[in-house]
Amino acid sequence: TKQKCVCIAELFSFFWSAFPTVFSSSLVQHEMVADYSHLFYVRGSHPDLVPYMLLAHIDVVPANESDGWEAPPFSAKEINGFIYGRGTIDDKNSLMAILQALEYLLLKGYAPRRGFYIGFGHDEEIRGFSGAMNIVRVLKQRNVQLSFVLDEGLAVMDGIISGLEGPAALIGLSEKGSANVKLSVSTAPGHSSIPPKESSIGILAGAVKRLEDNPMPRLFGLGPERTTFEHLAHKFSLPLKFVMSNFWLFSSVLSRVLERKPDMNAFVRTTTAVTIFNGGVKMNVIPSYAEAYVNLRIHSTQTLQEVMDLIEATVGDPRVKVELVDGFDPLPVSSADERSFGFQIIKKTVLDLFPTVTVAPGICIGNTDSRHFKDLSKDIYRFSPNWFKPGDVQRFHGINERISKKNYEEMIQFYFNLIQNCDTRKLPEPHSSVHEL
């Protein structure tokens, strides 16, 4: 639309004015992809070093001031050291911090040894089918392979994980899969004065109730979430420390404890959420048709087909039609051992900036643009140095989304250091300089 084009033009104009060195440097190649997305290549002096890629996205979810925001959601108003606004967590913070870090580096005369790409998709919130996927298409046409990819995802959790002593930086190694499933029932219509024993709505409601009453099986400890808790075990107080350190014995018990809280239940199993229910057009008419939509986030050890088979078995009613609208399997699990270049570089950068945190691998329960890049790199990581305290997670896609000025400065420093840390050929030693080849 005309309005959309004007907004994109204004954003691009802002980029040019805010980061003039990025757009004028002979080291940086910039192009627009699919009209609205941005792709940068920063040339390195050592072409034998495999490049990497930093991702963020331009778009945000809607927000209404009438919902109870302390400041207008698109005002970027500062209150008590916090910048309020939609996108301050998801994901304009990473986007702006990456550009600001690169601007500072170029102003200092820095020339990277390892080249790298930056991709800013414009439709991540609606699955990235135009932005990220077209960026991938362009890179594939150029036969680009990447050492690793870093996108949004997990963060520094401080007081978020019950029983954990001190903050933890979780670096996502994978993402859960996803499925949108439609359930529908068709029956003969009729007048409400002569109702049948079961209506289309009643049959469908029964199927939905069975799905909610019979969640997907507990799979805790069988996927990458096990590695997360093993890495963090020493930071828990007793008796949790003992439990976390003996997964082989207590994983079943622990999964029963974790499933009691919705945020922890997401690590235990494939989650089931009924999101849409439609049926009926008039109060005195028995509807001939009713439908419901269910969104599932698939555990790393399950497949899309296994989940569909379980839904069919749980619904257990031939009158209910079960259809897959769309979906995909969980993403491959990236490496996180001592030989993993991307993970170790990210870990070192985190610890240099936040020396008191514990770094651990994690699993991203949402989905990001990075899933489209799996053919370009076997190692994709989901992390940005947002510092989340109790209550902050609810601001994600919620009311009063905000970031502290201090944390935004830390994000700039993170990317500033990360780009330099990537210039090594060798894996870093803990807390050592890696800027020398």
DSSP bridge pairs for 411 = none
Residue for token pair 């990210």: 346
* 203-226 b/e (C-beta count within 10 Å ≥ 16 → b): bbbbbbeebeeebbebbbbebbbb
Closest CA to 330 of 389, 282, 271, 413: 271
CB 384 within 8 A of CB 152: yes
Pair 98, 415: CB distance under 8 Å: yes
Q: How far apart are CA 272 and CA 178, in angstroms?
A: 10
Work out whether strand 149-157 and strand 168-175 pair parallel, antiparallel, or are unpaired.
antiparallel
Return the percent helix, strand and coil in the chain, to nearest 5: 35, 25, 40
Catalytic, 124? Answer yes
Rounded to 10 degrees, what is the CA torsion of 8, 9, 11, 13? 160
Q: Which two tokens stand for residue 181?
A: 């499933």
Q: Tell me the two tokens of residue 311.
A: 């839904």
Is residue 59 part of the annotated active site? The answer reads: yes
State the binding site. Answer: 57, 90, 125, 152, 397
Q: How far is CA 256 from the centre of its chain?
A: 25
> Binding site membership for Zn(2+): which residues?
57, 90, 125, 152, 397
Report the alpha-carbon distance of residue 306 to residue 311 in Å, rounded. 9
Cα torsion 22, 27, 33, 35: sign: positive
Q: At what angle do helices 225-232 and 247-258 cross, to 10 degrees?
A: 100
The active-site residue, picked from 103, 123, 124, 352, is 124
- Per the CB < 8 A criterion, the answer to whether 254 and 243 are in contact is yes
- Which of 59, 158, 352, 392 is catalytic? The answer is 59
Nearest Cα neighbor of 57 from 106, 94, 110 is 94
Confirm if 349 and 356 have CB atoms less than 8 A apart. Answer: no
Signed CA dihedral, 276, 280, 281, 282: sign only? negative
Catalogue the active-site residues.
59, 124
